[in-house]
Amino acid sequence: MADVRGIDGVRVRASGKINLALRVGPRRSDGYHPLATVFQSVSVYDDLEVRPAPPGEFPVTVTGAQADLVPTDGRNLVVKAGRLLAEAYGSPDAGAAIAIRKSIPVTGGMAGGSADCAAALVALSVLWDLDVTQSELLDLGKQLGADVPFSLMGQTAYGIGRGDDLVPVLSRGSYHWVLAFADFELSTPAVFARFDELNPDPSPALGVPTGMLETLASGDATALAGVLVNDLQPAALSLRPELSKTMAEGMDAGALASMVSGSGPTIAFLASSEEAAIDLSFRLSAADVCRTVRRVSGPVQGAKLVA
C-alpha cells in the first residue's frame, strides 16, 4: 500500500437512483427475488470525505437531513466497504475516518446507503493508492449490496439477477423529475414481504416493458411516462396508503407520470420540461403532502472524485 502521508482527504460524490422499470419475479429459496430493472441515476447526492486514521479504525460521522437514522458503527456500509477493500487489495489493518454528508433520503428507495458504499470504495482506493480497476470495484460492490454496482456506474443501466448484473443503456437527453420525500421510512424487506402476499404466483417471465429502451434512446419524456413500471408499487401503497394521495396531487399538478421509487416511500414525478418541473415542485410543496420536495434531473454520473 502506498504511503498516504501528505494526502489530506479525498472527496467523492455519489448520486441516488430511481428505477424506471422494476419487474419482480417469484421469491427464490435463498430469499432473493429475481429482478429485471432499468436504473437511472439522478442529481440528488451524498458527499463523502475520507482521511487517514489509525490502523483498523473507521470512525464515521454523518451530517445532513435524517443523519440520526444512519448508523455510524460497523453496520454502516462505508465501514463494510473499507474493511473489504483493505482485505482484498490493501493492508488488512488499514483505517480511515469517513465523513458523510447526506442528501439522499434514508430508507427512501433511492439506494442512499449503496451510494455511500460506492463512494467509499472509490475514495478509499485513492486515499490508500490501491492498484484496483473499475471492474474489480464492481465485483467488490456486488458483495456489499445489490445496488452498489449501479451506484459506481451511474447513468442508465439494465440490471438482472439481484439487479447487479448490469449493462449500460443508451439514453439521450436529460429527464426532469420532482421527488417527494416522505416523513416516514419503508423497509425494503417489508415491501418485498407484502409483494409476496399480494402476488402468491408472480410470473417468472421477467423483462422490461416493450419500447422502454427505444424510448430512452429517443429522449422523449412523454413516451417514457407511458412505459414506467414498478411491480413493488402496489405493495408500497398497501403498506402506506397515504402515498396514493401524494401521487394524485402530483398528477393534478401536471406531472406526466408518478411512480414509487424502488421500494418507496419516495415518489418520483416525471415532468415534460425543466419549467414544468419547477411549476410542479412549487405546487407539490404547497399541497403539503410530503416532508420535502426536490427537483432533480437524470441521468448523471456514478460515484466520482471531486476537487
Is 147 an annotated catalytic residue? yes
Phi-psi region of 103 (alpha: psi -120 to 50; beta: other; left: phi over 0): alpha
The smaller minimum CB distance to ligand ATP, of residues 80 and 176, is found at: 80
- Tell me the window of 102-110, 203-211, 230-238, 286-294 that interacts with ligand ATP (CB under 6 A): 102-110
User: CA nearest 257: which of 245, 243, 271, 244?
Assistant: 271
The smaller minimum CB distance to ligand ATP, of residues 3 and 30, is found at: 30
Question: Shortest gap between Cβ of 260 and ligand ATP (angstroms)?
Answer: 11
| Cα(171)–Cα(16) distance, integer angstroms | 17
CB atoms within 10 A of CB 211: 13
**Residue 109 lies near ligand ATP (rule: CB under 6 A):** yes
Terminal CA-CA length for the chain: 23
Instruction: Break the chain down into helix, strand, coil percent, rounded to 5.
Output: 35, 30, 40
Provide the β-strand partners of residue 24: 35
**Residue 302 lies near ligand ATP (rule: CB under 6 A):** no
Site string for ligand ATP, 182-221 (x = CB under 6 A): ------x---------------------------------
The continuous run of DSSP H or E covering 44 comes out as: strand 35-52
Number of residue whose CB is nearest ligand ATP: 113
Residue type, 155: Q
Residues of this chain, 147-166, that bind ligand ATP according to CB under 6 A: 147
| Cα(240)–Cα(269) distance, integer angstroms | 18
The smaller minimum CB distance to ligand ATP, of residues 107 and 125, is found at: 107
Residues of this chain, 121-150, that bind ligand ATP according to CB under 6 A: 147
Q: How many residues interact with ligand ATP (rule CB under 6 A)?
A: 21
Which of 46, 116, 147, 231 is an active site residue? 147
| Cα(114)–Cα(48) distance, integer angstroms | 12
Phi and psi angles of residue 211, each rounded to the nearest 5 degrees, phi first: 95, -15
The smaller minimum CB distance to ligand ATP, of residues 164 and 249, is found at: 164
Q: Which three cell numbers, joined as nine digits, stand for 100?
A: 458523510
Question: Shortest gap between Cβ of 53 and ligand ATP (angstroms)?
Answer: 17
The smaller minimum CB distance to ligand ATP, of residues 125 and 215, is found at: 125
Which of 17, 46, 47, 80 is an active site residue? 17
Residues of this chain, 63-82, that bind ligand ATP according to CB under 6 A: 70-71, 75-78
Cis before 34? omega within 30: no
Q: Which residues contact 285 (CB under 8 A, 6 or more apart)?
A: 293
Q: Which residue has the cell 402476499?
A: 197
Question: Shortest gap between Cβ of 65 and ligand ATP (angstroms)?
Answer: 11
Annotated binding site for ATP: which residue ranges?
105-115
Annotated binding site: which residue ranges?
105-115
Q: Which residues bind ligand ATP (CB under 6 A)?
A: 70-71, 75-78, 100, 106-114, 116, 147, 188, 262-263
